[in-house]
Structure 1
Amino acid sequence: MTTSQNEQTERPKTRGYGGLVTLGIVGSAAVAINVLAVPFLTPAVRKLGIPYVPATHRQLVCILSRLKKNSKRQHSSMVDLGSGDGRIVIAAAKRGFQAMGIELNLWLVLFSRARAILQGVSHLATFKRQDMWKADLSKFDNVVVFGVDEVMGLMEEKVKSDVCPGTRVIVSRFRLPNTNHKEQIETGSGTVWVYEL
């Protein structure tokens, strides 16, 4: 066999090896992306779960504009039940609220804490890994809830039994089924309802 025949025989092997390396890199990147994304996209396992769906910019604006200030405190308080990536809590903290996010998904809690540190509001924005059904709502001036239709009846019972008189409850996506709202902002999936309980 001549030298040129040897080169022709080896070239396809080199190209095949390069293709395998590329395939391996692309495959590894795809697996890494999935591993990182799954904790954020998968609802935390719980009896009555609410999936993580980020608030839209319009919902965020509507909610922030309806948070009630408490004149007796230096920092009015608010809690976001199922705080997800923390955007509402962080935005409220930037407006001077002592804001807390309650979230069961550990990855979202850690992500939110990191965002609060990076945005310089970690002294006002705190995040707690907890089942929202077990959270004590009595110390907050404002309660924010992004719910799904199936749990809003139970959420209504919880806020009515937990909150103090005068607490403002701000609900988005699905309303409290048996309570009259004080105000409705927008329509459709971006609707925000304001309740004074």
Structure 2
Amino acid sequence: MFALRCFTVWRTVLRSSLRSTAAGGSVISSVTLLIGSAFAGVYRLWAMFCMPGLRVPFRLKVPFLPSTKEQTLNVIKLLEGRKGHLADLGSGDGRLAFAAPSMGFQCTGFEINSMLLACSRSKAWWRGVPHTDIHFVKQDFWKASFICINVAVFLAPAVMGVLEEKLLKKLPEDARVIVCRFPFPHWPHSCTAGSGLNQVWAYDVHTAREPSRTSSHQSYFPSISSMI
């Protein structure tokens, strides 16, 4: 939304500049060109830090939204008692990934934005975090074939339906998915923590697969009324 507004303003300013230049208004055209260049610079800077790469389809592009401290604590709360590996899909600047080792997790952060990836890797190096505890990879998680029993997600509502289909096919039966702020549209959640912008939901894959199993079982065995 922010990018669209910047682009709209920049286009309007550019058109005004062209009209002013055609009318011979050199001072006005210089000012409008300066403003237009400023908006274009802001847009490019925002896109550089907050948007994924060009290889990601437009319908799956999600801008970077930093998680709050309370939100991160809620994610950790819903992962209590679980161990193993944690996959952070769209890890951003690595806020959740850096909290994972305190709970005994080994974390892999998937991030395709080069600037955010460099930021998270630099912080890991500066803090002296072992590579075995946190590993940031430049990879499009939409195409990645990962098998993990713990997954954390903070994406936009428009892609949650596509993501739940992918995870339902890829994740093992005992996997748990933690979703921040925007819940899955179809999966039944097991528990939740927080409220408002800091609310997170926990989904267990075996629970999410039960409705599909029930429907396939019912379709295989016809009802008694249909047989009479």
Q: Which TM class, normalised by the smaller chain length? A: 0.7 to 0.9
Match of 1:58 among 70, 83, 104: 70
Q: Distance in 1 between matches of 2:47 and 2:122?
A: 19
Structure 1 residues 36, 147: CA separation in 2 closer, same or farther (over 3 Å shift)?
closer
Q: 1:64·1:92 contact (CA, 8 Å) conserved in 2?
A: yes
Within a 5 Å distance, the mapping from 1:117-132 to structure 2 comes to 117-123=125-131, 124-132=133-141
Structure with greater Cα Rg:
1
Q: 2:97·2:109 contact (CA, 8 Å) conserved in 1?
A: yes
Within a 5 Å distance, the mapping from 1:41-52 to structure 2 comes to 41-45=50-54, 46-47=56-57, 48-52=60-64
In the alignment, structure 1 segments of 5+ residues that lack a partner are 1-29
Q: 2:78·2:192 contact (CA, 8 Å) conserved in 1?
A: no
Moved runs in structure 1, 4+ residues, more than 4 A? 33-38, 68-71
Give the superposition deviation at 1:36.
6.9
Q: 1:181·1:196 contact (CA, 8 Å) conserved in 2?
A: yes
Q: 1:50·1:147 contact (CA, 8 Å) conserved in 2?
A: yes
Partner of 2:119: 111
Give the superposition deviation at 1:136.
2.0
Give the superposition deviation at 1:188.
2.2
SS of aligned partner of 1:157: helix
Q: Give the length in aligned residue pairs.
A: 162
Partner of 1:167: 175
Pick the structure with more helix per residue: 2
- For 2:135, the aligned partner's letter is T
TM-score normalised by L of structure 1: 0.74
Moved more, 87-96 or 98-107: 87-96
TM-score normalised by L of structure 2: 0.65
Structure 1 residues 90, 157: CA separation in 2 closer, same or farther (over 3 Å shift)?
same
RMSD (Å) for aligned C-alpha atoms? 2.2
Structure 1 residues 36, 116: CA separation in 2 closer, same or farther (over 3 Å shift)?
farther
Within a 5 Å distance, the mapping from 1:1-197 to structure 2 comes to 39-45=48-54, 46-47=56-57, 48-67=60-79, 69=81, 76-123=84-131, 124-138=133-147, 140-197=148-205
